[in-house]
Amino acid sequence: MNPLKAYAVEQTALAIQALDLFLQSGKEEAVHELRVSLKKSRALLDFLEKQKKHEKKIIKLQKQVREVFKQAGLIRVSQLRIKWMKSNRYRLLLQNASLATDLNDYTTDFLSKARRNKNVLTATHKTVAKESEHASSVQVLSYAKKLKAKVERLINNLQQSQWHHLRKNIKRLMYAYHWLLEKDKLKILTLRQYNFLDQLQSSIGQWHDAEDMKTWISEAQFFLNSDEKVKQQFNKCWIKLIAEISNKEKAVEALLKNKKLLNQKQ
């Protein structure tokens, strides 16, 4: 089995398993595992769509998988916000937020669409397994080269507003790296470059999560609450978030100082 097909079969099967696990047990980690596998499945569909084979079918699956990903994302974000609130002991904010209700609503909606979502993931599994079998190593290498060139362009002309977009492209490049034949991997990334990109995308992810929490906290408008204790806890929370974001920004900026590493010849 070629690396692309092996990856396609594994990741789409893992997505189905994670969906089944969540439907059966409701375990929080299952939602995270589902979204990870769906990100990789979406990357596979993007590659196949660019090969212009069965394009309409692939585009339809892309839209359907994106919708499942979005539904699971609403659940996951609510879970993470609740977890963050609890870990930082912001009990009053949690009590005055709609997080628990939101999580219940998102989960109920997701469960109501279980059969349809399972059909989408099953169709995706069959399609990517079949189509990836016919993709050549030359096509995979060409796709990976284009992704690396895009990542390099973004990094060399980067603004903070583009960090999240850069992260998405880094992750797709890292996924594509695993579709390559062993002899082609060094044509794209050395191990040192791969590890650098992995650290960079992880740091950007942590910064983005903190920014997302800040946005949600602001939109929740705890500062308008009539309870003075809630306002006081909000102020503490806000100060903490600002400090976290500053630290995570510095971590990303420190890594970006090593961006020339990507331009080194393989």
The mean pLDDT of 46-69, rounded to a whole number, is 91
Q: What share of the chain is helix, strand, coil (3-state, %, to 5)?
A: 85, 0, 15
What integer best gives the mean pLDDT of the chain? 94
Q: Nearest to residue 217, comparing CAs of 200, 235, 194?
A: 235
pTM of the model: 0.93
Residue 1: pLDDT band (50, 70, 90) is low
User: What number of other Cβ atoms are within 10 A of residue 31's Cβ?
Assistant: 27
Report pLDDT digits (tens) over 215-248: 999 999 998 889 999 999 999 999 999 999 999 9
Length of the chain: 266
DSSP symbols for 64-130: HHHHHHHHHHHHHHHHHHHHHHHHTT-HHHHHTSSHHHHHHHHHHHHHHTHHHHHHHHHHHHHHHHH
Q: Which residues contact 74 (CB under 8 A, 6 or more apart)?
A: 102, 106, 110
Residue 265: pLDDT band (50, 70, 90) is low
Report pLDDT digits (tens) over 160-214: 999 999 999 999 999 999 999 999 999 999 999 999 999 999 999 999 999 999 9
